[in-house]
Amino acid sequence: MRSLLRASVVGLGLAISACAAPAAEDVAAPTEDAITSNDGTPLELRFSGELTARATDTPRRAIASQLQYVQGILTSAAKANGQANMPTLKNVVETVDGDKKRITYEASLAVIWPKGRATPASYDLVLPKDVTALDAFNAKYDGACGRNEYGQDTFWHDFNPLASGCQVADADAIRVSASVQAHPQATQGKYPEYGQVWADDSLDVVAVFGIIGSNTPSDEGARTREQLLADAKSSLRGAVRTDAPTMSGVIAESTVSGTIEIDGRVKKVNVTGFLVQEAASAGSAFNTRYEEATAKADLVIYEGHSGLGKNINALARNTGASAGKYQLVYFYGCQTLAYLEPSMHEKRIALNGAATDPDGTKYLDIIATALPAYGDNGRSTLGLFHALLDTRAPKTFNDLITGISPLHLTAVFGEHDNTFQP
């Protein structure tokens, strides 16, 4: 199998207004989601941090630049990972001094810890102090404190302050002892919102597959797309496949449409499969088409390289949404739990209103991987598709992620406000 990860710079486009003078604020962003995992234990790390940033940097962007190093720390030492790009922040204080500023903050970070490994009462973090000088930090400690796998600019992916011989100078880093507790919103036995999925008597699936090795029919991405489409055609009544005209940035787009009968009623099913070389560079035509297709989708799937977050967040920013429309999203690539930014949640808060959907999760659940993921020949994608088709035997999220390799440390988040019961 091929690892679904490729080197690239992760995007950190996280929005919040910066202050021009010393200020204290609670950062307006989605609060920490609920979380479910079969193979890991959901934990919460709480700590206070500080950093130096450019005066023009938003606090959330600057803090995300610092916290991305948590990924290397957790994966190297514990085979764990956390939502590095989606911490809950409060008491953020900015003090501007010329073209730079000092930011202090309090953070809560959701972490998936491998089951079977003892859970610590606290966890020590060593984080770069100055996010305006990360290139210098990487150059200084790459090799001594872990070795970059995808280029020195992404050394955060491999940073390991516990490596033999690693000594990080106090001038370069902050050292914090994070308290560790069971995640306060860990859940078991929650269901996808089957009732909302079928409320309009249809199931709409949009799946994007990225090229894993080379653009040939035998490539894993191409084969898995064809497998999904063939399975849909054989599973549905009167199924018809339509291949879309060639579009810039899209290798192939096809839709299979048909029907199934549920409780004596005929319901429509549409499955659209895209094949792209790389989601982040597919271009504006693809982004527009993808947003249009996903705006009414019940199930959205991505299988491919994470691109160290670049591909995951390009899709997240362009995934369509409709007010009051439930969506289940599966990001099947390396460390998608850690790379994902809150853009999908922010979009839903704006659509549905903070009073109705304060966390951006009322109509959104996400399945993601905490560790590197390897192709499974479409098994988990087909499992999700068939699970939503079979309303007579609804599956919990725990059931759904049982079909995903335990090596990936898969988690579901956002399901705490789900109400469906069979």
Nearest to 88, CA basis, from 47, 32, 127: 32
pTM attached to this predicted model:
0.91
Return d(Cα 124, Cα 131) in angstroms, integer.
19
Please give the pLDDT value at position 33: 60
Q: For residue 167, give both structure tokens.
A: 């000594």
Beta-ladder partners of 106? 48, 90
Q: Alpha carbon 228 to chain centroid distance?
A: 22
Handedness of CA 245, 248, 252, 254 (dihedral sign): negative
Return d(Cα 137, Cα 159) in angstroms, integer.
11
Nearest-10 crossing angle of helices 343-352, 310-318? 10
Q: What is the mean pLDDT of residues 312-317?
A: 98
Q: What is the mean pLDDT of residues 312-318?
A: 98
Express each pLDDT in 60-85 by its tens digit. 999 999 999 999 999 999 999 999 99
Q: For residue 344, give both structure tokens.
A: 């999908």
Specify whether the CB–CB gap between 177 and 186 falls below 8 A: no
CA-CA-CA-CA torsion for 284, 285, 290, 296, nearest 10 degrees? Answer: 110
Q: Is 269 exposed, middle or buried (0-12, 13-18, 19+ CB in 10 A)?
A: buried
The rounded percent of the chain whose pLDDT value lies above 70 is 92
Please give the pLDDT value at position 347: 97
Handedness of CA 235, 240, 241, 247 (dihedral sign): negative
**Is the confidence at residue 333, as pLDDT, over 50?**
yes
Return d(Cα 200, Cα 381) in angstroms, integer.
23
pLDDT band with cut points at 50, 70 and 90 for residue 230: very high
Nearest to 11, CA basis, from 290, 341, 288: 341
Q: Is 393 exposed, middle or buried (0-12, 13-18, 19+ CB in 10 A)?
A: exposed
Identify the CATH number of the domain defined by range 194-417.
3.40.50
Return d(Cα 6, Cα 220) in angstroms, integer.
15
Half-sphere exposure (Cβ direction) of 175: Cα atoms closer than 13 Å: 8
Specify whether the CB–CB gap between 83 and 161 falls below 8 A: no
Coil, strand or helix at 375? coil
pLDDT band with cut points at 50, 70 and 90 for residue 375: confident
Range scoring the smallest mean pLDDT among 18-32, 97-111, 192-206: 18-32
Q: Alpha carbon 306 to chain centroid distance?
A: 9
Return d(Cα 344, Cα 307) in angstroms, integer.
18
Please give the pLDDT value at position 9: 31
Return d(Cα 193, Cα 307) in angstroms, integer.
30
Q: Alpha carbon 158 to chain centroid distance?
A: 19
The rounded percent of the chain whose pLDDT value lies above 90 is 89
Q: Where in the chain is the domain with CATH 3.40.50?
A: 194-417
Specify whether the CB–CB gap between 59 and 105 falls below 8 A: yes
Q: What is the mean pLDDT of residues 96-122?
A: 96
Q: Is 218 exposed, middle or buried (0-12, 13-18, 19+ CB in 10 A)?
A: exposed
If residue 301 lies in a helix (H) or strand (E), which one and from where to where?
strand 299-303
Q: How many residues does the chain have?
A: 422
Express each pLDDT in 237-287 by its tens digit. 999 999 999 999 999 999 999 999 998 999 999 999 999 999 999 999 999
**Is the confidence at residue 10, as pLDDT, over 70?**
no
Nearest to 95, CA basis, from 24, 21, 174: 21
**Radius of gyration (C-alpha) of the chain in whole angstroms:** 21
Return d(Cα 213, Cα 222) in angstroms, integer.
10
**Single-letter code of the amino acid located at 238:** G
